[in-house]
Structure 1
Amino acid sequence: MLQVSDAYFFHFVCCIFLNQHFKSHTNNNKINGKKHIFLYFIDLVTLTCNTQAEKVDSWTLDGEEVEFDSYVRMEGPNLKVSEVDAPMLGKYSCWSGGKMLSSTYLFQELEEEGDLDSLLSCRAKSYDCNFTCSLKDSRFTAVRLGLGQDCSSSSSSSHDGELQFVLPHSLSPYAEESTMLELTAEAINMYYILRRTKTFYLRDIIQPDSPEIVRCEEVGEQLNVSVDPPPSWSTPHSFFSLEYEIQYELKDDGTIENSFSTLIPRKINRLRVRSRDSLVLSAWSQWTAWQNVRKGKKNRHRCKKRHQGDLQDSTPGSSDRLKTKRRKHKKKKKGLFKQNEH
């Protein structure tokens, strides 16, 4: 006997999707112990009373007793509803002897133009085993996401009115990416459900975290900036190479300039750095915070507290990654260019 709470506005954290082609008129799903029927423009739907009781006395819709007619009729313990429209959507419950036996929620697909990109944004901070997606739309009271037909579980959280999901994947970070990920999202607005599917390569949503500025050291009239990849970036770094862009403020006139080389003018007030995958030219990371540059001993400038241990050279160089493994359109950028500060 299944007891179902009246509360049905909840975040789905279990990935059970309707990715198969529908061979019958309805598809029954149970999520967190609650049964739902998603209605896709059909003429007849059967609501099943999940009980071993010999007799079902009545059915209710959102607490009101269902009146039987030519469109709504009982067939044994179950309820058949034909020519379903908006007034027939909601929470159906079957009863026996004044006791609720089970409940089923009946939804109808919401027709809405637009693709999933307008509702959902996804990002992978590395090529490792998961990525995150976020949805910010106050219209929906329940949302679930999943990958493919056999989706494993995902976790969700809410931050500043934005739903955030972590989805695992089984792609090898070292293999050539030939299969696109298929992401399905379902969102509920009252008794209507919006369902969208999109496909993409993992490399298309790569955006590293901000890198780490390690140290600055004078080399003649220039400053050599050492930068490390973010801790969340895939390893080994010789295989998963990053390129860096340094933005700095000149000491003479406060002009803001940018460089794709780690050698920059010596006379600067402050600097900051961002990174991206150097082979697929991914989205840039967020900038690091501005770091003030102060001259110390032995021609070494302090732009951040030094890390213990060896400091690796961060000057972008050639990668030993196999050319067939990822996109081959690496674009080298050299020199300096000016950018006005707004």
Structure 2
Amino acid sequence: MGTLSLWIFGILFISLPAAYGLTSFPKNVVAAMKDDPNPVTLTCDVESGVPVEWKFTSNGGEMEKMDWDSAQQVGANLNVSEVDEPMVGEYSCWSGGKKFSSTYLLLRVPEEEVEDADSDSAIRCWARSYNCNFNCSWTLGKYTAVRLGLGQDCIEGNKSCDWVSSSDGGFQFELSHTLSPYAEESTMFEVTAEAINDQDFLKMTKRFYLRDIIQPDSPEIVRCQEVGEELNVTIDPPSSWSTPHSFFSLEHEIEYVYKDNGKTESSPAPVIPKRISKLRVRTRDSLVRSAWSQWSPWKNVLTGKKKLCKCKNTAKYCCPELLPEDMGHCKRKQGGKTKSKPN
């Protein structure tokens, strides 16, 4: 096997991924450790026995023909060893002027060499419920394309891995799983991330139980019913939470502000003092003590019959349930305020 003569197609070097357009994963990517004498093999998708020529597109320089001792062709495939920055780029195989396939060769970045980051900080995951999907985000800004996969196939880089790419360009992902929400968890999820830019390839795996990433959406404050000198607050679980709610129970925390002194207090119980100006609520899984949800928006509290007509705006106010006679009174009151238009 002889030394391969490669055509080098140079393009002006720029720091952005536009050099290769690597804002998404190419079909074929191979990562090599820098200066590793053990070769990596780039395969050509061509029938056996067809003579092929390999071409290479890299950063910098002008088009030239050169001998490259560290790249050797074996049949239709190409072995590349001692990979360094000038050898990073797109390798394509050709025959009869036709391009059959191409592979991007990048430098593998060991996870332990990533500064100020590990899999726990680079990959953040959360689940709004115990249903069959959860969300993850990628936090390292150096990379221009990222994909996530779930399970052993993705750890091993098998073609059977079902990779998920970000749909909005913001490195936000939604992954699906088949775990029954009623079963006790015995196996951890394994989420693998592959991240690339125009030169580097990074692979990380994060392991966790679904119960450890549960964070419900914010609950909804339905009403504030007066009971003597107290309020009984009715709270509905978030619509995204798992059902039945009797099985997937939640606990709430209510935060409220007193009218007279502006002091803020909180309570895990639904019965709170009546003389408050506003309140909000958050929730969490009561069994596994999950992360708290975000606080719901503040709602102003209205008590007393004189203010009941404002209670039609339930997004802004927390009020008692309006009875039919209350609604009729409010309609008559509104009608009395309406001025007749001049003829």
With the length of structure 2 as denominator, give the TM-score of the two structures: 0.74
1:90 to 2:92 alignment? no
Question: In structure 1, which of residues 115, 119, 131 is the aligned counterpart of residue 118 of structure 2?
Answer: 115
- Counterpart CA distance in 1 for 2:37 and 2:122 is 27
- Given that residues 293 and 302 in structure 1 are in contact (C-alpha distance below 8 angstroms), is that contact kept between their aligned partners in structure 2? no
Question: In structure 1, which of residues 56, 60, 63 is the aligned counterpart of residue 56 of structure 2?
Answer: 60
1:183 to 2:178 alignment? no
Cα displacement string for residues 162-207 of structure 1 (whole angstroms, at most 9, x for unaligned residues): 3100001111111111111111111113221111112111011000
- Given that residues 213 and 304 in structure 1 are in contact (C-alpha distance below 8 angstroms), is that contact kept between their aligned partners in structure 2? no
- Given that residues 148 and 165 in structure 2 are in contact (C-alpha distance below 8 angstroms), is that contact kept between their aligned partners in structure 1? no
Residue equivalent to 1:75: 74
- Counterpart CA distance in 2 for 1:224 and 1:174 is 32
| Cα displacement (A) at 1:153 | 4.9
Gaps of 5+ in 2: 1-18, 154-160, 316-320, 322-343
Residue equivalent to 2:32: 39
- Counterpart CA distance in 2 for 1:203 and 1:272 is 25
Check 1:47–1:270 CA distance in 2 against 1; reply closer, same or farther (3 A cut): same
- Counterpart CA distance in 2 for 1:293 and 1:67 is 79
- Structure 2 matches for 1:326-337, cutoff 5 A? none
Cα displacement string for residues 94-113 of structure 1 (whole angstroms, at most 9, x for unaligned residues): 23344433211112211324
Higher Rg of the two aligned structures: 2
- Given that residues 39 and 107 in structure 1 are in contact (C-alpha distance below 8 angstroms), is that contact kept between their aligned partners in structure 2? yes
Amino acid in structure 2 at the alignment position of 1:61: T
| Cα displacement (A) at 1:43 | 1.5
- Counterpart CA distance in 2 for 1:145 and 1:55 is 37
Question: In structure 2, which of residues 170, 176, 192 is the aligned counterpart of residue 168 of structure 1?
Answer: 176
- Counterpart CA distance in 2 for 1:38 and 1:99 is 26
| Cα displacement (A) at 1:296 | 4.9
Residue equivalent to 2:156: none
Residue equivalent to 2:6: none
Residue equivalent to 2:318: none
| Cα displacement (A) at 1:46 | 2.3
Residue equivalent to 1:26: none
- Given that residues 142 and 188 in structure 1 are in contact (C-alpha distance below 8 angstroms), is that contact kept between their aligned partners in structure 2? yes
Residue equivalent to 2:16: none
- Given that residues 216 and 303 in structure 1 are in contact (C-alpha distance below 8 angstroms), is that contact kept between their aligned partners in structure 2? no
1:9 to 2:29 alignment? no
Cα displacement string for residues 276-304 of structure 1 (whole angstroms, at most 9, x for unaligned residues): 11111111101111101112549989496
- Given that residues 146 and 165 in structure 2 are in contact (C-alpha distance below 8 angstroms), is that contact kept between their aligned partners in structure 1? no
Aligned length: 281
Secondary structure at 2:120's aligned position in 1?
helix
- Counterpart CA distance in 1 for 2:187 and 2:146 is 26
Percentage of identical aligned residues = 55
Question: In structure 1, which of residues 279, 292, 296 is the aligned counterpart of residue 300 of structure 2?
Answer: 292
- Counterpart CA distance in 1 for 2:251 and 2:278 is 20
Gaps of 5+ in 1: 1-5, 13-30, 312-342
Amino acid in structure 2 at the alignment position of 1:293: V
Question: In structure 2, which of residues 284, 300, 305 is the aligned counterpart of residue 276 of structure 1?
Answer: 284
Which stretch of the first structure deviates more once superposed, 275-284 or 99-108?
99-108
Check 1:147–1:58 CA distance in 2 against 1; reply closer, same or farther (3 A cut): closer
| Cα displacement (A) at 1:266 | 0.4
Residue equivalent to 1:305: 314
- Structure 2 matches for 1:135-214, cutoff 5 A? 135-150=138-153, 151-154=161-164, 156-158=166-168, 162-214=170-222
Secondary structure at 2:67's aligned position in 1?
coil
- Counterpart CA distance in 2 for 1:169 and 1:97 is 46
| Cα displacement (A) at 1:71 | 2.0
Secondary structure at 2:167's aligned position in 1?
strand
Check 1:72–1:66 CA distance in 2 against 1; reply closer, same or farther (3 A cut): farther
In terms of fraction of residues, the more helix-rich structure is 2
Check 1:208–1:156 CA distance in 2 against 1; reply closer, same or farther (3 A cut): same
Secondary structure at 2:86's aligned position in 1?
helix
Amino acid in structure 1 at the alignment position of 2:91: Y
- Counterpart CA distance in 2 for 1:153 and 1:106 is 19
Residue equivalent to 1:239: 247
Residue equivalent to 1:17: none
- Given that residues 110 and 193 in structure 1 are in contact (C-alpha distance below 8 angstroms), is that contact kept between their aligned partners in structure 2? yes
Amino acid in structure 1 at the alignment position of 2:297: A
RMSD between superposed Cα atoms in Å: 2.7
- Counterpart CA distance in 2 for 1:58 and 1:218 is 80
Cα displacement string for residues 144-169 of structure 1 (whole angstroms, at most 9, x for unaligned residues): 1111124445352336xx31000011
Cα displacement string for residues 25-56 of structure 1 (whole angstroms, at most 9, x for unaligned residues): xxxxxx6xx22222245521222222248322
Secondary structure at 2:184's aligned position in 1?
coil
